[in-house]
Amino acid sequence: MPVEPPSPPATPPGGIPRPPDDGQGAVVVERQTAKVVPPPMYQVVLLNDDYTPMEFVVMVLQEYFKRDLETATQIMLKIHHEGRGVCGVYSKDVAATKVELVLAAARRGGHPLQCIMEAA
Ligand code: TYC
C-alpha cells in the first residue's frame, strides 16, 4: 500500500502561511474578493394634509423616528411647506413596520396623516 509523504505544516516556522496543497502535486491559490451587497434601503415619507395637528406630527417624529424636539419640528415644518418629508431611511422590513405603526397611531387619533415608503 503506497504511503503518502507527510505534508508540511500550513504555517511554517517562519510564520508565513503556505497556500493549500491539493494533494495532487499542484498548489491551489484562492483569492477572495469582498462581494457583500448592501441591502436595499427605503425612506419613510410623511405627507402633508390640512387637518393633522402639527403637534401630532412632531410627536410621531419623536416617538417612531427617534428625532429630538428641534429636529422633529424642522421636519414637520418642511412637510407643512413642501408637501412631504423624509423621516428616516431603513431596511425594507423596518420601514414597512414604521409605516404601519404611524398609520395605526394616526387612525387611533382620528387624523388623516399619510405615511409611505419608497426606495431610497
Ligand atoms: N399641515 C398641517 C397643519 O397645518 C400640519 C402637518 C404637517 C400635517 C405635516 C401633516 O405630515 C404633516 N395642521
Residue ranges of domains in the chain, CATH in brackets: 41-119 (3.30.1390.10)
Please work out, in degrees rounded to the nearest 5, the angle formed at the alpha carbon of residue 59 by the alpha carbons of 57 and 60: 65
What secondary structure does DSSP assign to 46-67, as a single string?
EE--SSS-HHHHHHHHHHHH--
CB of 46 sitting under 6 A from ligand 1: yes
Going residue by residue through the chain (120 aa), what tens digit of pLDDT does each one get? 344 444 444 444 444 444 444 456 665 556 777 789 999 999 999 999 999 999 999 999 999 999 999 999 999 999 999 999 999 999 999 999 999 999 999 999 999 999 999 999
CB of 59 sitting under 6 A from ligand 1: no
Query: What pLDDT is recorded for position 3?
Result: 45
Query: What pLDDT is recorded for position 39?
Result: 94
Query: What pLDDT is recorded for position 46?
Result: 99
Query: What pLDDT is recorded for position 73?
Result: 98
Q: Residue 80 Cα, ligand 1 centroid: separation in angstroms?
A: 5
